[in-house]
Structure 1
Amino acid sequence: MSYYKNENLMDLVEDIIDLDPQMRFAAIIDKKGKIIEAIMKSGKTSLKSQKDEEHFCQQVAKRREMRQEFDKSLGSVRYVHVEREKVTQIVIYPDSYTVYVTMEPEMSITKKLRLVNKIKKMTADL
Structure 2
Amino acid sequence: MIMDYDQICKNVLGIDPKVRFAGICDETGETKYGGMREGLTSLLSPQESQKSNLQAVGRWGLRKSLTSKTGRGIYAMTQYEKLTRITIPLDDDHLLVVTTEVDADHRNIINNTLKLIQQ
2:85 is aligned to 89
Structure 1 residue runs of 5 or longer lacking an equivalent are: none
Give yes or no for contact 1:94–1:124 (8 Å, CA) kept in 2: no
Which aligned pairs between 1:98-109 and structure 2 lie closer than 5 A? 98-107=95-104
| Separation in 2, partners of 1:32, 1:73 | 27
Pair 49,32 (structure 1): closer, same or farther in 2 beyond 3 Å: closer
Task: Compute the displacement of 1:5 (Å).
Answer: 3.4
Which aligned pairs between 1:1-126 and structure 2 lie closer than 5 A? 5-6=2-3, 8-96=4-92, 97-107=94-104, 111-124=105-118
Give the number of equivalent residue pairs.
118
Task: Compute the displacement of 1:26 (Å).
Answer: 0.7
Task: Compute the displacement of 1:51 (Å).
Answer: 0.7
Q: TM-score under structure 2 normalisation?
A: 0.88
Q: SS where residue 18 of structure 1 aligns?
A: helix
Identity %: 25
Task: Compute the displacement of 1:94 (Å).
Answer: 2.3
Q: TM-score under structure 1 normalisation?
A: 0.84
C-alpha RMSD of the superposition = 1.8
